[in-house]
């Protein structure tokens, strides 16, 4: 875009950035002002981390069951948890066939049935990681196949969004080292300095149109020197799992798809991103919310 066009559009862009400041679905600022002068993402990360911490601490205090408390603490410090025997799918071979055929009509029936069984448990863990009370309307369910041919951007370590934001996967079959296991850099979700620095680098390259990935999630490989530090800095979680296991992860932390020659089939649950105001209200209503789960 020419400089003149950029100057003309700048006031509208500033308005859009300020308007979406509290909206956690709005990933990156679009104006020059919010990319280079105002520490826009820094402030959003600060507010989100503050509210999430308040929510999660209150959540852990309110939980009386010792096993669940331990699970919450693990998610709090590490950013993810693996739970075995979460939910086993019945006819796995048929299910894999339906996913391969993209038979949405049949898959939809299985999604509904699965939802009935796992919804409550799902909401519990996802709300904690998100730092916000969720309900069934704020979850998206889908069956996915990560095949060997889709060596795209998600293979690289990246952070999905500036705010704490969870995803869950239930595994249809066993996943070994050759099965494109989910990779996660443990505790990177709480490394706000690192996340903010990476946001800065990525946002600028997206603003200038020089991003190699042209994608709105911040990639560590956007800057090669950055990546070197990262892989030394954290312990890496590798998602070797048995069928029926679930992984819940805060995908503001750095994660990627592992290598391998076998496809990986999962039932994925993502959450709708709302706004930071909703996080404040969630803290107020938390006690009542937990009593439901």
Q: Which stretch binds Fe ion (CB under 5 A): 52-60, 66-74, 183-191, 246-254?
A: 246-254
How near is the Cβ of 37 to Fe ion at its closest, in Å?
A: 29
Distance CA(88)–CA(95), nearest Å, equals: 12
Q: Which is nearer to Fe ion, 13 or 257 (CB)?
A: 257
Q: Which is nearer to Fe ion, 48 or 160 (CB)?
A: 160
| Residue pointed to by tokens 């390259």 | 205
Q: Which is nearer to Fe ion, 34 or 256 (CB)?
A: 256
Look up residue 280 and give its two tokens.
């404040």
Distance CA(22)–CA(90), nearest Å, equals: 42
Q: Which is nearer to Fe ion, 133 or 251 (CB)?
A: 251
**Residue partners of 175: CB distance under 8 A and separation at least 6:** 181, 239, 240, 241, 264
DSSP state letters, 193-222: HHHHHHHHHHHHHHHHT--SS--SSEEGGG
Q: Is 22 helix (H, G, I), strand (E, B) or coil?
A: coil
How near is the Cβ of 81 to Fe ion at its closest, in Å?
A: 17
Task: List binders of Fe ion among 154-213 (CB under 5 A).
Answer: 160
Q: Which stretch binds Fe ion (CB under 5 A): 14-22, 104-112, 179-187, 249-257?
A: 249-257
Q: Which is nearer to Fe ion, 121 or 216 (CB)?
A: 216
How near is the Cβ of 159 to Fe ion at its closest, in Å?
A: 8
How near is the Cβ of 256 to Fe ion at its closest, in Å?
A: 8
Q: What is each CA distance from 164 to 101, 159, 173, 211, 276, in whole angstroms?
A: 34, 10, 28, 23, 11
Q: Which is nearer to Fe ion, 87 or 215 (CB)?
A: 215
Asked if 250 interacts with Fe ion (CB under 5 A), we say no
How near is the Cβ of 252 to Fe ion at its closest, in Å?
A: 10
Residue 223 region by backbone torsions, left for phi larger than 0, else alpha for psi between -120 and 50, else beta: beta
Q: Is 205 helix (H, G, I), strand (E, B) or coil?
A: helix
- Give the burial class of 148: count Cβ atoms within 10 A of its Cβ; 0-12 exposed, 13-18 middle, 19 or more buried: middle
Per-residue string for binding with Fe ion, 123-162, x by CB under 5 A? -------------------------------------x--
**Residues binding Fe ion (CB under 5 A):** 160, 251
């Amino acid at each position: 875009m020419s400089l003149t066009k950029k100057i003309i559009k700048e006031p509208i862009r500033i308005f859009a950035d300020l308007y979406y400041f509290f909206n956690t679905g709005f990933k990156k600022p679009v104006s020059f002002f919010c990319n280079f002068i105002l520490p826009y993402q820094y402030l959003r990360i600060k507010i989100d981390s503050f509210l999430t911490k308040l929510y999660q601490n209150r959540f852990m205090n309110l939980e009386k069951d010792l096993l669940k408390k331990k699970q919450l603490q693990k998610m709090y410090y590490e950013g993810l948890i693996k739970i075995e025997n979460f939910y086993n799918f019945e006819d796995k071979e048929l299910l894999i066939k339906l996913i391969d055929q993209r038979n949405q009509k049949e898959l939809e029936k299985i999604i509904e049935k699965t939802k009935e069984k796992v919804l409550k448990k799902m909401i519990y863990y996802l709300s904690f990681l998100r730092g916000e009370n969720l309900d069934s309307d704020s979850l998206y369910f889908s069956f996915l196949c990560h095949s060997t041919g889709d060596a795209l951007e998600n293979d690289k370590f990246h952070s999905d969004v500036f705010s704490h934001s969870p995803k869950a996967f239930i595994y249809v079959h066993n996943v070994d080292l050759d099965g494109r296991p989910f990779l996660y850099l443990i505790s990177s979700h709480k490394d706000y300095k690192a996340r903010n620095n990476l946001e800065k680098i990525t946002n600028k390259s997206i603003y200038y149109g020089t991003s190699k990935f042209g994608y709105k999630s911040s990639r560590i490989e956007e800057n090669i020197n950055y990546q070197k530090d990262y892989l030394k800095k954290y312990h890496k979680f590798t998602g070797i799992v048995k069928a029926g296991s679930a992984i819940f992860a805060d995908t503001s932390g750095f994660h990627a798809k592992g290598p391998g020659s076998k496809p990986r089939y999962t039932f994925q649950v993502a959450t709708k991103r709302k706004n930071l105001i909703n996080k404040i209200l969630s803290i107020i209503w938390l006690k009542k919310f937990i009593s439901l789960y």
